[in-house]
Amino acid sequence: MRKHLSAETIYAGLYVLPRGTLRSKLLAALRQAHSARRPRARGTDRRGQSSNMTPIAERPVEVATRTVPGHWEGDLIKGARNGSAVGTLVERTKRLVILARMEGTDATSARQGFLKKLRHVPALLRKTLTYDRGKEMAEHERVAQRLAIQIFFADPYSPWQRGTNENTNGLLRQYLPKGTDLSGYTPRKLNAIAHRLNTRPRKCLNFATPLKVYAHLRHPSLVALGT
């Protein structure tokens, strides 16, 4: 009988059991190097609710298998005192990162910011978007209609259901530190940050870069010619 080791068991082993120097070394080896395990929120979701949300349980099976490109995960990274934000989008199969400048943190800003960036993605590579239940996606139906994209919502307090986006957000904090005003980041600056992540070789892509494999999807003949 095969045994399954959950992420929670691993984190418990890292944060609870070790002591002293061993604990410090283990935690320092983690990508985001948090000194303490952040507790999961419990109880009722108090962030506000959008209407007509399609739950992640209804998402096509192909999204979970990562065998078909064109499925995205999205979120907002918040700035100081939640007064500014940057939209983050990650393609699940190729790990391509897109950063969207937001004029604010409300639903209208999120709709405008995501529309502006996603409209440049070819329709064949723009199948679904999975988001959390934050109230900034209250205008999700307008986004879905304009882009002809299906939008699904993760279960409350289930960040692992958007694990690719969560991990990417952790990496992005190196460039978009907490406690800073994100409104000062221009589209050009955000594109430069995204380019750094998209030109980083990934083990899951056989050490190719997200930008290269994504370019192959868009223009396979040009990539084959080395252009």
Taking the domains of the chain in order of start, what are their residue ranges?
A: 56-200
Q: Is the pLDDT of residue 225 over 50?
A: no
pLDDT at position 49 is: 58
- Residue indicated by tokens 């989008």: 89
Tokens of 68: 């078909």
Cβ of 221: how many Cβ atoms within 10 Å? Answer: 8
- Residue indicated by tokens 């007509």: 52
CA 60, 62, 65: angle at the middle one, nearest 5? 130
Contact 47, 138 (CB under 8 A): no
Q: Residue 164: name the closest of 69, 82, 34 by CA.
A: 69
Reported confidence tier of residue 10, pLDDT bands at 50, 70, 90? low
Q: What is the pLDDT of residues 22-73, one digit of tens each?
A: 666 666 666 555 555 554 444 444 445 568 999 999 999 999 999 999 999 9
Superfamily of domain 56-200 in the CATH hierarchy: Ribonuclease H-like superfamily/Ribonuclease H (3.30.420.10)
Q: Is the pLDDT of residue 223 over 60?
A: no
Which of helix, strand or coil describes residue 148? Answer: coil
Tokens of 93: 């199969």
